[in-house]
């Protein structure tokens, strides 16, 4: 697991640099926050499907505790997209279309899930631990953003992982599972892929990516109103 920890540390350093750049330039803007919540909505909607699928995989037949953890984790994560959606609603903002990097995330991990489930778990190691190294910067950005209130920040507060240390729990569950060399290799591959894909999403959220802001943001986008999302994409 040492290589996983190294990838987490390197990725966390990159995220911190991006947040510090925002802090000294624009500060955290409402547009960036809407992009953040939009990204999280689409990343977490139906995410339990991945964890339930991995738990049922034959490679976990001798790992009952890991299976139990993944089912519980999936159930806990399942409603989080609703929280991102509610934060947007309380902001009076619209849910944007799914960002292309989120589409790529789902297409990639859907395609590999049944054959190499530990690749997806490697990405989970990144998602659940990435922000730990920049909590102080995140706190400062939120503190100076006038649109951040208790009613508009439930999702990001939960995912600061101060009360629910998911990152540590994921790493501990994997460390205790006696992984084979090939499973560890898949875990490392997934951590690298997950870090790359998610940090690309961060660039879109923070408007730091010249490629997407030039090619995509200038095009007219069909926005999804919160009311429409509630009627069509968010089950009751």
What residue numbers bound the domain in which 161 lies?
Answer: 2-232
Cβ atoms of 50 and 111 closer than 8 Å: no
Tokens describing residue 206: 């923070």
Instruction: Give percent of the chain with pLDDT exceeding 70.
Output: 89
Q: What is the pLDDT of residues 111-158, one digit of tens each?
A: 999 999 999 999 999 999 998 889 999 999 999 999 999 999 999 998
Average pLDDT for residues 158-184, to the nearest whole number? 88
Model pTM greater than 0.75?
A: yes
| Residue 164 banded pLDDT, cuts 50, 70, 90 | low
Mean pLDDT value across residues 80-107: 96
Q: Which two tokens stand for residue 186?
A: 């898949």
How high is the pLDDT of residue 81? 97
How far apart CA 197 and CA 109 sit, in angstroms, is 11
Is residue 162 scored above 70 in pLDDT? Answer: no
pLDDT per position as a tens digit, 34-88? 999 999 999 999 999 999 999 999 999 999 999 999 999 999 999 999 999 999 9
* Structure tokens given for 62: 């001798």
Please work out, in degrees rounded to the nearest 5, the angle formed at the alpha carbon of residue 190 by the alpha carbons of 186 and 192.
Answer: 120
pLDDT at residue 166, as a whole number: 86
Instruction: Note the pLDDT of residue 119.
Output: 98
Nearest Cα neighbor of 41 from 208, 211, 205 is 205
Residues 27-38 have pLDDT tens digits of: 999 999 999 999
Confidence of residue 227 (pLDDT cuts 50, 70, 90): very low
Number of domains in the chain: 1
Q: Which of 118, 121, 115 is nearest to 183 (CA)?
A: 118
Tell the residue number behind the tokens 């090619």, with chain if given: 215
Return the CATH number at 119: 1.20.910.10
pLDDT averaged over every residue in the chain: 90
> Sign of torsion, CA 48 130 15 80?
positive
Closest listed residue to residue 101, CA positions, set 225, 216, 5, 190: 216
């Amino acid at each position: 697991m040492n290589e996983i920890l190294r990838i987490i540390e390197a990725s966390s350093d990159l995220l911190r640099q991006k947040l510090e750049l925002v802090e000294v330039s624009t500060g955290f803007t409402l547009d960036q926050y809407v992009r953040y919540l939009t990204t999280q909505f689409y990343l977490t909607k139906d995410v339990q499907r991945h964890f339930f699928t991995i738990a049922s995989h034959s490679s976990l037949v001798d790992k009952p505790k890991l299976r139990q953890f993944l089912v519980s984790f999936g159930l806990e994560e399942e409603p989080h997209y609703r929280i991102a959606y509610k934060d947007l609603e309380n902001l009076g903002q619209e849910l944007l279309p799914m960002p292309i990097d989120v589409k790529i995330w789902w297409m990639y991990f859907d395609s590999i899930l049944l054959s190499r489930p530990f690749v997806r778990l490697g990405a989970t190691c990144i998602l659940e631990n990435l922000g730990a190294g920049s909590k102080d910067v995140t706190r400062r950005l939120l503190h100076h953003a006038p649109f951040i209130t208790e009613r508009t920040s439930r999702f990001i507060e939960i995912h600061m992982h101060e009360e629910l240390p998911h990152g540590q729990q994921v790493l501990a569950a994997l460390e205790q599972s006696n992984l084979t060399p090939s499973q560890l290799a898949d875990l490392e591959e997934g951590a690298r892929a997950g870090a790359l894909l998610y940090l690309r999403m961060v660039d879109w959220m923070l408007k730091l990516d010249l490629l997407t802001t030039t090619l995509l943001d200038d095009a007219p986008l069909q926005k999804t109103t919160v009311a429409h999302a509630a009627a069509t994409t968010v089950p009751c």
